[in-house]
Homo-oligomer: A and B are copies of this chain.
Amino acid sequence: MKMEARRFLLLLFLLSLLSISTAATTRKIRARKPCKSMVLYFHDIIYNGKNAKNATSAIVGAPQWANRTLLAGQNHFGDLAVFDDPITLDNNLHSTPVGRAQGFYFYDKKEIFTAWLGFSFVFNSTEHKGSINFAGADPLMNKTRDISVIGGTGDFFMARGVATLMTDAFEGEVYFRLRTDIKLYECWQQV
């Protein structure tokens, strides 16, 4: 018996070492399914010199050959816009917003349309309080594009994940609507 007991202890010790090293050093993590999923839409109305009242975004930077009233040639390369867009649960611009998408995007390729985005979803409703922060490349000619959830606050404290963007509508050079499928793979809880 004494022998067996020692063997258990040894095994226990080895297993606990293994477990600590798994958790703390290799950091190869398998993601089975998101700990939280949400689908939301946001709506961007770009200022074009005539829609000051309705516009939710405006060009604030542009290359030397362009201006800040109209999107530039060469696939808008260099145009930088700041936005404060309503977030809705469905694809209707006139639905009651559940939050605001606030941030910036710029067009960054001369040959085709591509953009880069840094923004937050800011919630202040009975359902959600807090924010989700995003960053990443948006090759917007692709049907779906993945960007990163780089952090969050409040209900989304310390969140990490991936968001899939889809252009749900595009009207001239004034309005676009993005469907955002958010999948969080790290969900923290403050206790």
Judge whether A15 is part of the interface by a CB distance below 8 angstroms: yes
> Which residues of A157-191 are within 8 A (CB) of B?
157-158, 160-162, 185-191
A33 → chain B closest CB, angstroms: 8
Instruction: Give the number of residues in A that approach B within 8 Å (Cβ atoms).
Output: 88
- For the complex, what is the distance from the CA of A190 to the CA of B30, rounded to whole Å? 6
Query: Which residues of B have CB within 8 Å of A135?
Result: 118, 133, 135, 150-151
- Is A102 interfacial (CB-CB < 8 Å)? yes
Q: Is A28 an interface residue (CB 8 A)?
A: yes
Question: Interface on A for B, CB 8 Å cutoff?
Answer: 1, 4-5, 8-9, 11-12, 15-16, 18-20, 22-32, 35, 47, 49, 52, 58-65, 67-69, 77-80, 82-84, 100, 102-104, 106-110, 114, 116, 118-120, 122, 130-131, 133, 135-137, 139, 146-154, 157-158, 160-162, 185-191
A-B contact pairs, 18 of them (CB 8 A): A8-B9, A22-B24, A25-B32, A29-B188, A30-B188, A60-B79, A64-B68, A82-B116, A84-B110, A102-B108, A131-B137, A133-B136, A133-B147, A133-B148, A135-B151, A148-B151, A151-B160, A158-B185
